[in-house]
Structure 1
Amino acid sequence: MVNPMSTPARFDRGHTDDLMSFLAASPSPYHAVANAAERLEKAGFRQVRETDAWDGSAGGRFVLRGGAIIAWYVPEGAEPHTPFRIVGAHTDSPNLRVKPLPDTGSYGWRQVAVEIYGGTLLNTWLDRDLGLAGRVTLRDGSHRLVNVDRALLRVPQLAVHLDRSVNTDGLKLDRQRHMQPVWGLGSPSEGDLIRFVAEETGTGADDIIGWDLMVHAIEPPAYLGQNRDLVAGPRMDNLISVHAGTAALIAAATRAGGGAPLPYIPVLAAFDHEENGSQSDTGADGPLLGTVLERSVLSRGGGYEDRARSFAGTVCLSSDTGHAVHPNYGDRHDPTHHPRPNGGPILKVNVNMRYATDGSGRAVFAAACEKAGVPWQSFVSNNAMPCGTTIGPITAARHGIRTVDIGVAILSMHSARELCGAEDPYLLANALVAFLEG
């Protein structure tokens, strides 16, 4: 479905159809990496464990750790000092996550205690049918994925009759008091939720000793508009990039396996916990990427000098969503930079290094888009408003790797349901293939 050699790249709706399936099947970071791993395995990649010795032979490999995946393809004849080309992304999205003591309630309602994860738009979780997903940890240390993809929970909004000023003074939500979903009637009992999860996963409740659970909106992704030129769906920030990066890595590896020259080692690095600062063992500010890259160099017979040479020639595209110009809030955007849906991927720039892009990085990205026949746009924040950030500056500073921030322009970022152009995910994937192939 990715066709990097088309000039210009012609939209393939099959890619967007596949993205929509990926979004629906990935209600948590753990599901996202499991789905990416399944696709990589079908393409001939094999999982390697961090506790095992690695060999430096040619071929595709990947490492899984929690909600993160690092995958790479070593072409035939790769030297220890061969540079990497990295597509960076993140698997997590802002949402509501289950607390350690989940069973709560009052006034005859059974509720689930949740904690706010990341900078979510709270009001978008109101009055939605919600499922439950994530993973549980069993006594033997193994994990079991959980996906209750049906109407189970709901965060009910207060009726307008009991809040007459809501449409004039605005909705005011207390993160603790107003965001606890209901899931039944009666008195809460300790262990209710985990017993339910145990039944859903076919395990014993006594076997579950830990959980990383979160709610998700069960409404599936859908095309929008008279011409179906928009897509609405959950977790676009940033599973658009995880999906595109996986497809691009597979495409680059397939072409290399067919004899096409590949001067770089293509890599997909999809991290967890970007939405709360990336400081974890599976986040971009942790050691995972650097360790994997260094072990790849060492497994091919290299030493410190080879590692230094490899990293010096490495480039990372940090791919994350950015803001499309909003038709109802045009004044919130920079007056001369208006990224639009289906205008191609965006190059994200901030001179205060909230994004890692500089002039040389712009040249790399522009060359990749030109090779793929993909249009691209520039994004910069309005000077009067603070700029967000990504894994880009973290990757650049932590590993000394030249990094460029890019992505797809969307509306409703950090909502339970976001919106993008139907063509942009495909255009992004094609640009990523061209980048990985150098």
Structure 2
Amino acid sequence: MSEPSRPSPATPTRGASRTQPFHRGHTDDLMAFLSASPSPYHAVATAAERLEKAGFTQVDETDAWDASSGGKYVLRGGALIAWYVPEGAAPHTPFRIVGAHTDSPNLRVKPRPDTGAHGWRQVAVEVYGGPLLNSWLDRDLGLAGRLTLRDGTTRLVDVDRPLLRVPQLAIHLDRSVSTDGLKLDKQRHLQPVWGLGDDVRDGDLIAFLEQESGLTAGEVAGWDLMVHSVEPPAYLGRDRDLLAGPRMDNLLSVHAGTAALAAAAGRDLPCIPVLAAFDHEENGSQSDTGADGPLLGSVLERSVFARGGSLEDRARALAGSVCLSSDTGHAVHPNYAERHDPTHHPRANGGPILKVNVNNRYATDGSGRAVFAAACEKADVPLQTFVSNNSMPCGTTIGPITAARHGIRTVDIGVAILSMHSARELCGADDPYLLANALAAFLEG
């Protein structure tokens, strides 16, 4: 029997049945997206490239915006806001927003990166966010991010080959590690090695990156660099029904949101679909590119004003708007089931999860649940619910921040995964496709 046709990875198929076979094309495309996006700066560049192919055009924040319809996007650092204005949209037309974040917990290069001891050359790094530190040990690491040149322009850099390694102490020198647990000092134990030599000179790492990027010596004036695992994403399991890969928290949602927005473009919609991919969620969102910054509000307001709207129109548009804050959540762990709520056990490949916390760590309420349930029903996608065990602290997302900052009804959703905040995470291989279809149905209003 021939294999069923696959939907285009860039355009989720509306009405996808939960009984349909695993849609390998979409997940293959997610794997390519993860590999192309080792930093937030690469992630938004990759998403922008895909939106360009769908007919979107970049607008500059320093330019005057016009009332033209069509797809548009703004890039700022590691953040992207993209939206599609249907033909004839009124100034008070409400927005349908998919919110996500581009950053992941990792190790980031310090301002003076060159260090070392006892014949080892090392790179000085700082811990970003809340990574599972042990997952970065004994792993082949590359280096990626953004270089700022002396003329103020930026250049993306990606050394995607084994360059660094954080070596773990041998068990012979730490006999109790298997019984008492691994204890890591963030300052002393996480500095990766990248060569041999006693002569550690300031500027060696940046000079190496200048050479890698085809730049002249001394051209780089600043940098935002981070390490990443060079092991590519891969299908896992007897039936290849699992996906292992880096940065799925939360590039999985950025990829699904990009695909859903591209699918919505060109349709006659009653709303304006938006993708808001923010940076710095993992350390509180308080930056000019984070969800707690002014970027989204500024874009929405300028879109209203560009179409001839007033403050009254802006208020009407936001009052009728809805945001899905899409971020990964916790699948029930087979080895630690007692850590989960006993009546809420989200499973891999069980469809997207609705995330609920009555203490407002998630923004979902009953009316928000109805919105997402309707989108899942429209797309024929199964829906699960996540709530934390009462004895365990609950994480949070950009959802409550978005709701409080903009007064927009917000619903927290996502895909259930294992190994969250590891250098390599695990999810069901068809959940990304199901999420993208639910988001596409939501963006259509």
Confirm or deny that 1:3 pairs with 2:10. no
**Residue of structure 1 equivalent to 2:81:** 70
**Residue of structure 2 equivalent to 1:104:** 115
Partners of 1:131 and 1:218 within 8 A in 2: yes
**Residue of structure 1 equivalent to 2:233:** 221
* 370 and 181 in structure 1: CA distance in 2 versus 1, 3 angstrom threshold: same
Aligned-residue offset at 1:40: 0.4
- How far apart, in 2, do the equivalents of 1:52 and 1:12 lie? 41
Partners of 2:124 and 2:192 within 8 A in 1: yes
> Which residue identity does 2:109 align to in structure 1?
V
Partners of 1:135 and 1:144 within 8 A in 2: yes
What TM-score do the two structures reach when normalised by structure 2?
Answer: 0.97
Aligned-residue offset at 1:82: 0.1
- How far apart, in 1, do the equivalents of 2:18 and 2:236 lie? 25
Confirm or deny that 1:330 pairs with 2:337. yes
Aligned-residue offset at 1:56: 1.4
Deviation sequence 1:346-365 (CA, Å, 0-9, x none): 00000000000000000000
> Which residue identity does 1:93 align to in structure 2?
S
What are the residue-to-residue correspondences of 1:240-251 with 2, within 5 Å? 240-251=252-263
**Residue of structure 1 equivalent to 2:269:** 262
Deviation sequence 1:342-396 (CA, Å, 0-9, x none): 0000000000000000000000000000000000100000000100000000000
> Which residue identity does 2:346 align to in structure 1?
P
Deviation sequence 1:183-202 (CA, Å, 0-9, x none): 00002111100000000001
Partners of 2:16 and 2:381 within 8 A in 1: no
SS at match of 1:247: helix
Aligned-residue offset at 1:275: 0.1
What are the residue-to-residue correspondences of 1:41-190 with 2, within 5 Å? 41-187=52-198, 188-190=200-202
> Which residue identity does 1:344 align to in structure 2?
G
- How far apart, in 2, do the equivalents of 1:272 and 1:8 lie? 32
What TM-score do the two structures reach when normalised by structure 1?
Answer: 0.98
Aligned-residue offset at 1:4: 1.3
- How far apart, in 1, do the equivalents of 2:362 and 2:16 lie? 30
**Residue of structure 1 equivalent to 2:441:** 434
* 9 and 275 in structure 1: CA distance in 2 versus 1, 3 angstrom threshold: farther
Aligned-residue offset at 1:54: 0.3
Confirm or deny that 1:358 pairs with 2:369. no
- How far apart, in 2, do the equivalents of 1:205 and 1:51 lie? 32
> Which residue identity does 1:285 align to in structure 2?
D
- How far apart, in 2, do the equivalents of 1:373 and 1:200 lie? 48
Q: Kindly report the root-mean-square deviation, in angstroms, between the aligned alpha carbons of the 2 structures.
A: 0.7
**Residue of structure 2 equivalent to 1:297:** 304
SS at match of 2:313: helix
Confirm or deny that 1:367 pairs with 2:371. no
- How far apart, in 1, do the equivalents of 2:314 and 2:430 lie? 38
- How far apart, in 1, do the equivalents of 2:79 and 2:411 lie? 20
Partners of 1:9 and 1:373 within 8 A in 2: no
**Residue of structure 2 equivalent to 1:408:** 415
User: Runs in 1 of length 4+ with deviation above 2 angstroms?
Assistant: 5-11
> Which residue identity does 1:276 align to in structure 2?
N
> Which residue identity does 2:343 align to in structure 1?
T
SS at match of 2:125: strand
SS at match of 2:275: strand
Aligned-residue offset at 1:204: 1.7
> Which residue identity does 2:339 align to in structure 1?
R
- How far apart, in 1, do the equivalents of 2:15 and 2:170 lie? 55
Partners of 1:97 and 1:215 within 8 A in 2: yes
- How far apart, in 1, do the equivalents of 2:87 and 2:95 lie? 14
Aligned-residue offset at 1:8: 4.6
> Which residue identity does 2:124 align to in structure 1?
A
SS at match of 1:427: helix
SS at match of 2:218: helix
Partners of 1:3 and 1:9 within 8 A in 2: no
Aligned-residue offset at 1:12: 1.5
Confirm or deny that 1:231 pairs with 2:243. yes
**Residue of structure 2 equivalent to 1:34:** 45
**Aligned equivalent of 1:202, options 210, 214, 239:** 214
Partners of 1:9 and 1:427 within 8 A in 2: no
Confirm or deny that 1:306 pairs with 2:316. no
Aligned-residue offset at 1:205: 2.9
- How far apart, in 2, do the equivalents of 1:320 and 1:131 lie? 25
Deviation sequence 1:230-273 (CA, Å, 0-9, x none): 0000000000000000000000114x1xxxx3000000000000
Deviation sequence 1:126-150 (CA, Å, 0-9, x none): 0000000001000111000010000
- How far apart, in 2, do the equivalents of 1:432 and 1:174 lie? 41
**Uncovered stretches (5+) of structure 2, i.e. residues with no partner:** 1-7
**Aligned equivalent of 1:272, options 259, 265, 279:** 279
**Aligned equivalent of 2:290, options 261, 276, 283:** 283
> Which residue identity does 1:109 align to in structure 2?
W
Confirm or deny that 1:422 pairs with 2:429. yes
Percent identical among aligned pairs is: 81
> Which residue identity does 1:111 align to in structure 2?
Q
Aligned-residue offset at 1:107: 0.4
SS at match of 1:205: coil
> Which residue identity does 2:437 align to in structure 1?
N
SS at match of 1:250: helix
**Residue of structure 1 equivalent to 2:383:** 376
